[in-house]
Chains A and B, each alone.
Chain A
């Protein structure tokens, strides 16, 4: 086997152009696969972390099966329930602080335990402040704002001058990077939602109690829409599975195109390859030996292609922040994203990529080599 491996390496080295074309052909789709898988795993990880650190129960009004604003009066009612630790009303809305720039307005009072060290700079807004906001660092950059800057936010109901008192960390989640975080009362004012919240967050002692309380709330008021952490987890994972399914379908097409491409590239010098195989047969190689050699060549090609793809994907996504690529997977992102793209490179992705490389290269080379090795050598030599 060592001898055949030696010859396989020598065969690749003697025609570097063909080997490079093969490696690029196999590695191209695999680079996309690894990048996408890393970004997807990163986003999914962020979502999972957000869910885990979030509330146990989210309550909204039910309007024909959809979420609707809920009256703040419920907050006191929920606080009376057993095992409840914390109840906070929240407003989440999509706004445009400047033309073509979208942001998330988050109106929620920070917990007293919330750590200001999580901010990139500045501090939290004061409770019931009517102008102070904390802004996502990416959004602040795009708007040209920094801590201490003021800007006018126009909503449907008013124009209000707001002051940036802090910016969230650049390494925070994607969602945090484009958020304008205000006190709950200021968000109410800005959106004209007096007495209303988009949802109410309930923190309980543990998840079992949370499930019981959620059941109780849903049964006690048919107008409430109650969602537990467990339910949110399931929604999110279903969402990723759906996205993953679409990606897999697109990827399958890319692979399907890569295989004939490998066939065509392996075809460069087909005549020479046929002659080589015939000569090996003449000198005493069996068809099996020839196939082992071709397999080893494909294996070497795949190893190099997979390694290079993984390295390129790592540099592209981690160091260069996935330019021209991240916006294929994350909506409303620029071609050259400013926000740090979450990415997680996993060993399983590397293993899967190697498998994909092997399948593509074997499919592209084994059959034609077998066909040549199976006919009499004299015929292949002509």
Chain B
């Protein structure tokens, strides 16, 4: 078995630690993910799925616990090293797209790569190819605010994969999509899994969960493993 791309152990996240009523969102999360694996996170709204994905993808800092990505601890990583990791090995698809609305579509795709070594014209070419794959070749120079919800989601996905990541996080990727767009995204994720990319997604979409090797439910800040996507039995990972 190959080395895990992600190993989280005892992750906690407490909001408002200095306030009178601190809110403990994550309480000792332990999780391991291998290359080519799909991991699904479920749970009711507001339970902390996005927070967990943010902590795992280095977008947020956990309050305590350890996180190893690609075999290395992330605890002592400098800002620069974290940025490089995010740019070169990690992709993130947000639930509400999080795009730069005033910039053209192609630039949104390669915005992260602007600080890399590839020249601008090459980046544009790469972006065009990817946009062609997702059927958005006509919207290349459009401002993002002119795109529909489905197009924005495809664009967000394209931005996440332009760096050929080894680890992709997706937060409710199909929640704002129509059936055709959702099916399209499903196919794309399937293709990523075949090329050994590890995908961790928070979703309630049964068709996406069907792709997952492991499904966990986040409840009261802890992760519970579900043996199947129907969720008949659960094992608390903490225990």
* Contact assessment for B102 and A283 in the assembled complex, using a CB-CB cutoff below 8 Å: no
* Contact assessment for A284 and B87 in the assembled complex, using a CB-CB cutoff below 8 Å: yes
* Contact assessment for B83 and A284 in the assembled complex, using a CB-CB cutoff below 8 Å: yes
- Give complex CA distance A381, B97 in Å: 12
- Residues 275-299 of chain A, each 1 if its beta carbon lies under 8 Å from chain B, else 0: 1100111111111110000000000
Q: From the candidates B82, B102, B123, name the one contacting A15 in the complex (CB within 8 A).
A: B102
Question: Is B103 positioned at the interface, with any CB of A under 8 Å from its CB?
Answer: yes
Q: Give, as a whole number of angstroms, the nearest-CB distance from A135 to chain B.
A: 63
Question: Is A75 positioned at the interface, with any CB of B under 8 Å from its CB?
Answer: no
* Contact assessment for A376 and B60 in the assembled complex, using a CB-CB cutoff below 8 Å: yes
- Residues 368-379 of chain A, each 1 if its beta carbon lies under 8 Å from chain B, else 0: 000000001111
Residue in A closest to B99 when the chains form the complex, CB atoms: A279
Residue in A closest to B50 when the chains form the complex, CB atoms: A378
Question: Is B98 positioned at the interface, with any CB of A under 8 Å from its CB?
Answer: yes
Residue in B closest to A13 when the chains form the complex, CB atoms: B102
* Contact assessment for A14 and B54 in the assembled complex, using a CB-CB cutoff below 8 Å: no
- Give complex CA distance A4, B159 in Å: 18
- Give complex CA distance A10, B101 in Å: 13
Q: From the candidates B51, B79, B98, B100, name the one contacting A286 in the complex (CB within 8 A).
A: B79
User: In the complex, what residues of A have CB within 8 A of residue B115's CB?
Assistant: 3-4, 284-286, 289
User: In the complex, what residues of A have CB within 8 A of residue B163's CB?
Assistant: 284
Question: Is B112 positioned at the interface, with any CB of A under 8 Å from its CB?
Answer: yes
Q: Give, as a whole number of angstroms, the nearest-CB distance from B93 to chain A.
A: 11
- Residues 194-225 of chain B, each 1 if its beta carbon lies under 8 Å from chain A, else 0: 00000000000000000000000000000000
Q: Give, as a whole number of angstroms, the nearest-CB distance from A7 to chain B.
A: 6
- Residues 194-229 of chain A, each 1 if its beta carbon lies under 8 Å from chain B, else 0: 000000000000000000000000000000000000
Question: Is B178 positioned at the interface, with any CB of A under 8 Å from its CB?
Answer: no
- Chain B contact-residue range equals 20 to 34
Question: Is B129 positioned at the interface, with any CB of A under 8 Å from its CB?
Answer: no
Question: Is B111 positioned at the interface, with any CB of A under 8 Å from its CB?
Answer: yes
| Chain B facing A: main interface SS | helix
Q: From the candidates B60, B61, B111, name the one contacting A280 in the complex (CB within 8 A).
A: B111
Question: Is A348 positioned at the interface, with any CB of B under 8 Å from its CB?
Answer: no
Residue in A closest to B163 when the chains form the complex, CB atoms: A284
* Contact assessment for A284 and B88 in the assembled complex, using a CB-CB cutoff below 8 Å: yes
Q: Give, as a whole number of angstroms, the nearest-CB distance from B195 to chain A.
A: 20
User: In the complex, what residues of B have CB within 8 A of residue A74's CB?
Assistant: none
Q: Give, as a whole number of angstroms, the nearest-CB distance from B123 to chain A.
A: 8
User: In the complex, what residues of B have CB within 8 A of residue A4's CB?
Assistant: 114-115
* Contact assessment for A283 and B86 in the assembled complex, using a CB-CB cutoff below 8 Å: yes
- Give complex CA distance A374, B72 in Å: 22
Question: Is B157 positioned at the interface, with any CB of A under 8 Å from its CB?
Answer: no
Q: Give, as a whole number of angstroms, the nearest-CB distance from B136 to chain A.
A: 18
User: In the complex, what residues of A have CB within 8 A of residue B116's CB?
Assistant: 284
Residue in A closest to B113 when the chains form the complex, CB atoms: A284
Question: Is A235 positioned at the interface, with any CB of B under 8 Å from its CB?
Answer: no
* Contact assessment for A282 and B92 in the assembled complex, using a CB-CB cutoff below 8 Å: yes
Q: Give, as a whole number of angstroms, the nearest-CB distance from B2 to chain A.
A: 24
* Contact assessment for B87 and A283 in the assembled complex, using a CB-CB cutoff below 8 Å: yes
* Contact assessment for B59 and A283 in the assembled complex, using a CB-CB cutoff below 8 Å: no
Top 7 nearest A-B pairs by Cβ distance?
A284-B87, A283-B112, A378-B60, A286-B83, A284-B112, A14-B102, A378-B54
Chosen A-B contacts, 29 in total, with CB atoms closer than 8 Å, are A2-B120, A3-B115, A3-B119, A4-B114, A10-B107, A14-B103, A279-B99, A280-B111, A280-B112, A282-B59, A282-B86, A282-B98, A283-B86, A283-B111, A283-B159, A284-B84, A284-B112, A285-B87, A285-B115, A286-B80, A287-B79, A288-B79, A377-B59, A377-B60, A378-B54, A378-B59, A378-B60, A379-B60, A381-B59
B residues bordering A, Cβ < 8 Å? 51, 54, 59-61, 79-80, 82-84, 86-88, 92, 98-100, 102-103, 107, 111-116, 119-120, 123, 159, 163
Besides the known contacts A280-B111, A282-B112, A284-B116, 19 further A-B residue pairs in the complex with CB atoms under 8 A apart: A2-B120, A3-B120, A7-B114, A10-B107, A279-B100, A279-B111, A281-B86, A282-B92, A283-B159, A284-B83, A284-B84, A285-B83, A285-B114, A286-B83, A288-B80, A377-B59, A377-B60, A378-B60, A381-B59
